[in-house]
Amino acid sequence: MAKNNSKPVVMLTGHRTKAEKKIRSECEKKLQTDLKIVAFTETKNNIEAYKIFRSLKKIYNQIEFVDGCDNFTINRYCVLSAECKSIELQYAKVEKDIDEAAEVMQRIDLYKILSNFEFALNKKRDMLLKLEDRMFLNPASRIKSVPKKPKEDAPKSKFDKFVKSG
């Protein structure tokens, strides 16, 4: 299965004709909307999610390719981040309760709850990581999106250094 690594025209490298680049840039312009990034009700009602949303909105307002079409992804990321924070707080509380538990059965039950929290937290963190890659929120995904510029001094082939120019 072929991997689709679509990039904006300004980032394309390789052999593309001017006509191909022109068609591609026209299509990109059609995809851009004037819609603003807005917080959904679910995001606004969650204090932690809304904090994350406001910080992301500041970042994304400076990026030309991110607009209102990305609302679902951005809001989903904010809510998932807030849910992770909530699970982490509950996890810490259960850990504290384990230390205070007197009976063995009570401790076993708390360890089972702790295990469920770990599973849920790992699952949410995995989803967040995938969204971060899509949203260029981690260094690795940002580096992949930077166009590679060829060295101008390097010869095109091993024989070009023997060919006299002009």
**Each residue of 103-127: pLDDT tens digit?**
888 888 989 999 999 999 999 999 9
Q: How confident is the model over 64-105, as pLDDT tens digits?
A: 767 777 888 889 999 999 999 999 999 999 999 888 888 888
Whole-number Cα distances in Å, 1 to 6, 62, 131, 144, 145: 15, 35, 22, 20, 22
- Asked, for residue 6, whether it belongs to a domain, the answer is no
- Asked, for residue 147, whether it belongs to a domain, the answer is no
Q: Which two tokens stand for residue 146?
A: 């930077």
- Asked, for residue 58, whether it belongs to a domain, the answer is yes
Q: In which domain, by residue range, is 100 found? A: 22-142
Work out the pLDDT band at 43, boundaries 50, 70, 90: very high
**Domain count along the chain:** 1
Task: Give yes or no for residue 1 having a pLDDT over 50.
Answer: no
CB of 55 closer than 8 Å to CB of 43: no
pLDDT at 120: 92
CB of 70 closer than 8 Å to CB of 33: no
How far is 117 from 26, CA to CA, in rounded Å? Answer: 48
- Asked, for residue 9, whether it belongs to a domain, the answer is no
pLDDT at 148: 53
How far is 37 from 40, CA to CA, in rounded Å? Answer: 10
Task: Give the 3-state DSSP-derived string for 39-61, with helices as H, strands as E and coil as C.
Answer: CCHHHHHCHHHHHHHHHHHHHHC
- Asked, for residue 49, whether it belongs to a domain, the answer is yes
